[in-house]
Each structure stands twice: as C-alpha cells, then as structure tokens.
C-alpha cells in the first residue's frame, strides 16, 4: 500500500508539470520519461524501507524541466515496460506539497550536476539563467508565462551564469574598497582672483657705479641713480654710505704713506684700485719704473689684507700724444716690473678710462686694450673707471654724450669680460679743477639735485 501511494504521488507530480505527457503540447516526451524514470527509481528505494531523512519542499509549475543523462543505469530502462496511469488535468493553481521522503533527495542531487534550460520556443520564450556557487543558491526556471519552480540546491565550488539566446552582458567596473582604507577624494581647487601686479623698476646692474667728485653726495647720488658701487679718487669713503659699496683709490706713489689705511678701507669691498692716469703730468705723473716699484709694495700689503687689485688706469691718449707712453703706460710698467722682480705684476682686473665722441671708437678702444691684456697673459675682467663723450666740448655741444650713454652703457652691461663701469661724473658744476668746463657730462644738476637727461638714461640701466 505504501509503495502504491508513493508511486501515485510521483506520477501526479510529473503530470502537474505539463498538460499532456504524450500529446501534441508535449515537445520533449523523452526528457519527461527520464525524469519519471529517476522518480520511479527513488520510489523503489523508498519501498525497500530505506531510512527516511531530510525534508524537501517542491513547488511545481507548468515549466519544463530537463536533466542530462548521468551514469545511473536506471535512466536507460525501457519506457515501454512502464505502465503509466491516466492522470487528471493539471489544476489552474499550482499546489505546494511537503514530503519527508528520501525519494526526492535524488531529484535534488540532480540539480548539483547541470540544469540546462530549454531552447527558445516558438512563442519566443527565453531560457532561464543557471547559477551555482560555493553557498546554497535558489535556482529559478521559467517558461516566461507561468510562475517559476524554485529548488534549493547544495553549495558547489564554482559560480556561472548563462543566458541562452542573448549576448553576455559586460559588467560595469566599480571601485573596490579595501578594509580600513579610506578612498582618496579628488577635489578641484577653486580659482582665486588674479593679483594686480604693480610695475616696478628692474634691479640695478651690479656693474653700474659712480665717479663721485668730492664724495659728500655719494649716498644720495647712488640711491638716485640706482648705482651699485662708487669711487671718489681717494681712499676714504663717505661715512654715511655702505662701506661695502666704496672702492678706495691709490692715487700715485705719494699714497704709499697711507697704504695701511687704504688696505683697511678696502677690506669692506675686497678691492683697491691703482694709480689715476699715471701717464699724464697733471694727474698721477709717474714713470713706468716708479710705478713698478710702488706696485710691488702695494701687492705685498694687499696680500696681507686679503684685498684684490685693479691695475693702474691711464687715459686714452695715443703714445706720443702730449705724453710719451699714452695708454701703453700700463704695459710699459709690466715690462719694468718683470725686469726688476723676474715676474709680471699681479692684477685681478685691468682698469681703463675712455672718452670718445662715437660708440664705435669707444668699443674699438676697449676691445683692443682687452686683447693686449690677453696677449700678455692677463685673462682678467676689465673695469671702466671713467667713461663719457668729449665732455670738454660743452661750449660747442659736440660731445657725443647722448650716443655714448645710450649705446656704450648697454654694451658695457652686455659684454661678459667687462665687470664694472662708472660714468664721469655724478655732479659737475664746470669749475672742478681738471674738469673745467665739463659740466655737459653731469648726471645730476648740482644746483637743484635733479637728474639731468643723461642722469635719467643712466638711472634706467
């Protein structure tokens, strides 16, 4: 009796899955036979008084369930030897039945293998997706028209989803959050208001200096003309100025009496300058031999004080023009020094004065003197300690001052072998000793303290 009850129940469940087992509406009778064969085998096992374990809930629908063949020989039994009773029509509402039976454990185990969904039917039904994973999953199958049959399956080691008849969707990448790691937020800075730039004068050229007659206006004149250093043809500075901006001058041989004071004054800047136009009788007025002997003493004092030396500075006269040596006086002194001491005198820079009415003549003069120094082994920078146009032609106006200021000053700044330059002079009233009538070269009006047109050009450098 028990066996007949279980067999009848199994056949009833199979009948509920389709309106007709053998009729026209059934498109896969062989697959249904396989399912029935599985269920009858499970029923036979239950009839042999096998222990009843587990509780399985099965919800049946009109969906078609297809299983693949396994190696169980019971799947190959001949369907013709089976007797299948006629079942009543499937109710409209799908029944839910609960069984404590080991018979249905076999059907559940089949889900663990592979469940292959139906191919799309003529009504356009799509196949269901099948998922297996390492945790218990609920597998849903549907024919698209009726509720699904849900079967809980045991866990498996892989996960796979397949949708038949449609392309596999590409997953959208997403950010991966690591435990304990906060995501980095990127922020766009808020533009700030553009500051208004106030035009300022460029920094003064470190080369630019001043020749200050008298020296009492040195501080004010340097500030007004934006100069970086100054000299005053003497060895004591204007005490109100930065001592580091002052370069003391060793005027002639008579200055050796103050050599210690000169070197002390030179320590602030680190420099001292040689004789002032020694080739001229109305200036330092020295022979090359006298200059050589005096220079030897100067070298010894400078070495003790750690002071660098600028050579004596003759004027631009050609040799034999009023004086025998002209601008070659320095090289004549070098020859005398070498004859006396067996070596050349030491110069850390070579000094020159130049007054010309045209820029071309001034450039040619300085370039020639620099090449002469190189030929004698003095690869040292040049200091132009006085320059201007023909200042003595103030009365005629044919000085060339404007052209020299505009052209030569720029050239001096841009020539790498020229280290410093100083215009003659900051204040000239026209009655200053040897500068009688030279007021056309002044940079500042000595009466008003205002810049002259030349001074405005010099300030702008």
Specify which residues 189 forms β-bridges with. Answer: none
Domains of the chain by start residue, with CATH: 2-153 (no CATH), 208-459 (3.20.20.80)
The confidence score (pLDDT) of residue 190 equals 52
The confidence score (pLDDT) of residue 241 equals 84
The confidence score (pLDDT) of residue 433 equals 84
Kindly state the helix (H) or strand (E) to which residue 153 belongs, with its residue range: strand 149-153
The confidence score (pLDDT) of residue 198 equals 54
240: exposed, middle or buried (C-beta count within 10 Å: 0-12, 13-18, 19+)?
exposed
Nearest to 113 by CA among 57, 149, 67: 67
Q: Mean pLDDT per segment of 10 residues, for the chain of length 461 residues?
A: 47 44 41 47 48 41 38 39 42 38 40 40 39 39 39 37 38 47 48 54 87 87 95 90 92 96 97 98 96 98 98 96 95 98 98 98 98 98 98 96 98 98 96 92 96 97 89
Contacts 24+ apart (CB under 8 A), 154-161: 154/108, 154/112, 156/112, 156/132, 158/132, 158/133, 158/134, 159/131, 159/132, 159/133, 159/134, 160/130, 160/131, 160/132, 161/129, 161/130, 161/131
Specify which residues 211 forms β-bridges with. Answer: 231, 424
β-pair type (149-153, 137-141): antiparallel
Q: Please say whether the beta carbons of 21 and 84 come within 8 A.
A: yes
d(CA 260, CA 290): 20
The confidence score (pLDDT) of residue 146 equals 38
Looking up tokens 């003391």, which residue turns up?
A: 248
The confidence score (pLDDT) of residue 359 equals 98
């Amino acid at each position: 009796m028990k066996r007949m009850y279980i067999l009848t129940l199994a056949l009833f469940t199979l009948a509920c899955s389709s309106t007709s087992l053998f009729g026209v509406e059934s498109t896969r009778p062989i697959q249904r036979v396989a399912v029935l064969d599985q269920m009858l085998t499970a029923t036979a096992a239950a009839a042999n008084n096998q222990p009843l374990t587990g509780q399985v809930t099965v919800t049946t629908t009109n969906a078609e369930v297809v299983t693949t063949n396994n190696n169980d020989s019971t799947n190959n039994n001949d369907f013709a030897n089976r007797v299948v009773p006629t079942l009543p029509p499937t109710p409209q509402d799908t029944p839910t039945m609960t069984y404590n039976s080991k018979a249905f454990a076999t059907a559940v185990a089949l889900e663990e293998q592979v469940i292959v969904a139906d191919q799309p039917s003529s009504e356009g039904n799509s196949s269901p997706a099948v998922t297996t994973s390492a945790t218990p999953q609920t597998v849903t199958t549907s024919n698209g028209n009726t509720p699904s049959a849900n079967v809980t399956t045991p866990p498996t080691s892989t996960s796979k989803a397949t949708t038949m008849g449609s392309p596999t969707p590409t997953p959208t990448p997403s950010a991966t959050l690591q435990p304990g790691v906060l995501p980095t937020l990127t922020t766009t800075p808020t533009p700030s208001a553009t500051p208004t730039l106030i035009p300022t004068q460029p920094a003064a050229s470190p080369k630019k200096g001043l020749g200050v007659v008298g020296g009492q206006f040195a501080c004010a004149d340097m500030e007004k003309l934006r100069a970086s250093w100054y000299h005053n043809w003497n060895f004591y500075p204007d005490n109100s100025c930065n001592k580091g901006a002052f370069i003391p001058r060793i005027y002639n041989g008579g200055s050796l009496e103050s050599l210690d004071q000169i070197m002390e004054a030179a320590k602030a800047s680190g420099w001292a300058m040689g004789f002032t136009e020694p080739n001229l009788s109305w200036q330092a007025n020295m022979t090359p031999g006298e200059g050589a002997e005096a220079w030897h003493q100067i070298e010894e004092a400078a070495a003790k004080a750690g002071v660098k030396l600028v050579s004596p500075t003759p004027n631009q006269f050609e040799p034999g023009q009023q004086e025998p040596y002209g601008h070659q006086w320095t090289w004549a002194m070098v020859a005398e020094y070498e004859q006396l001491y067996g070596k050349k005198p030491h110069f850390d820079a070579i000094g020159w004065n130049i007054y010309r009415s045209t820029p071309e003549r001034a450039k040619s003069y300085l370039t020639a003197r620099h090449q002469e120094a190189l030929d004698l082994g003095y690869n040292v920078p040049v200091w132009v300690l006085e320059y201007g146009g023909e200042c003595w032609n103030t009365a005629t106006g044919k000085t060339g001052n404007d052209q020299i200021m505009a052209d030569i000053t720029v050239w001096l700044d841009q020539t790498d072998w020229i280290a410093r330059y100083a215009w003659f002079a900051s204040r000239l009233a026209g009655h200053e000793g040897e500068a009688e009538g030279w007021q056309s070269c002044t940079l500042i009006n000595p009466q008003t303290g205002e810049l002259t047109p030349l001074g405005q050009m010099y300030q702008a450098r």
